[in-house]
Structure 1
Amino acid sequence: MNVRLDTLRCVCLVAAMGMFGSATLIQAETADGATKLVVSKGKHVSLEYTLKLNEKEVVESNVGGEPMTYQQGAGEIVPGLEKALEGMAVGEKKHIAVKPVDAYGEVDPKAIQEVKKALVPEHAWKVGAELEARGPEGQSLFPHVTEVKEDSVVLDFNHPLAGKTLYFDVKILDIRADAKVK
């Protein structure tokens, strides 16, 4: 059994390193000698997940609901999670810790700004209120109020999960070479 696992690890490693010439599918060998797709660049992946902070506080989960789908290597999910999913097969489960640098980054003090109250709708003059704004290039920004002063409001333009380590419990549900993911 250990020989088969070592062989499987080698097959995956060699395939991931691109040593099979122009092969575009990365596959792994199962216990019965068959091959199966694994998460690799360009594959459409369907998964269930639970996202926690401090390994306790559940932030989000789709378990028992609609699976999350994404394309591996397309930058559709946080980089640390995408990297950790590489090489997983359908049915595999994994606990993944993603550091801030590989998720939403560290908190940027320059993204915290104090503005005059007159520039913020009165209903948002409370800590925790979320706003929608436009950046200099027209991009959507979603600051949240962190402090309300006599004449001003402090807005934090950092992502709400910036500076936090994210803990994911994931299970791969489906992997396809095309977009028809369950």
Structure 2
Amino acid sequence: MSQAKSGDTVKIHYTGTLTDGTEFDSSKDREPLEFELGSGQVIAGFDKAVTGMEVGDSKSVTIPPEDGYGPRNDEMVHEVPKTALPDDLDPEEGMGLQARGQDGQVFRLTVISVGDESVTVDANHPLAGQDLNFDIELVAIA
């Protein structure tokens, strides 16, 4: 059997959990995830975990933040005046928002608190700073 290597298109089934056991994503009950190894389509630790696997192999891995969504950065938490938000928006804790930077780049934000005059938003990826546990099964190599 051949081993998965950079440049191969692979199909995998996976379940991702946090260290407390909370499941944050899974391909069960869906089609397998398909991606090209080494192309940057998935987090670096995921690429590393699948590289060298053979079809039918299963493994469990823990991916540290530096190979996942990076460390948490407190400088990415901002207080925004409510006047800067659309008039029809009623912000709530946990709500996802999008903002566009001056260069046109879109940022995903999560509302972490709502005050009388302002809203505090977090631009960190929700999984930043966390160890990610994955159970992975290689289904196919194309």
- TM-score band (shorter)? over 0.9
Higher relative contact order (CA closer than 8 Å, sequence separation 6+): 2
The letter of the residue matching 1:149 is: G
**1:106-135 CA distances to partner (integer Å, 9 max, x unpaired)?**
111111110101112453421111101112
Matched, 1:71 2:36: yes
Equivalent residue number for residue 61 of structure 2: 96
- Pairwise CA RMSD: 1.2
The letter of the residue matching 1:154 is: T
Equivalent residue number for residue 6 of structure 2: 41
**1:143-163 CA distances to partner (integer Å, 9 max, x unpaired)?**
010111221110101111111
Larger relative helix fraction:
1
Matched, 1:152 2:118: yes
Quick one: percent identity of the two aligned structures? 34
Aligned counterparts, 1:1-182, within 5 A: 36-54=1-19, 56-121=21-86, 123-176=89-142
The letter of the residue matching 1:46 is: K
Radius of gyration: which is bigger? 1
Output the TM-score relative to the length of structure 2: 0.94
Using the alignment, how far apart are the partners of 1:98 and 1:124 within structure 2? 36
Q: CA contact under 8 A between 1:45 and 1:69: conserved in structure 2? A: yes
Larger relative strand fraction:
2
Output the TM-score relative to the length of structure 1: 0.74
The letter of the residue matching 1:62 is: S
Q: Which 5+ residue runs of structure 2 have no aligned equivalent?
A: none
Q: Which 5+ residue runs of structure 1 have no aligned equivalent?
A: 1-35, 177-182
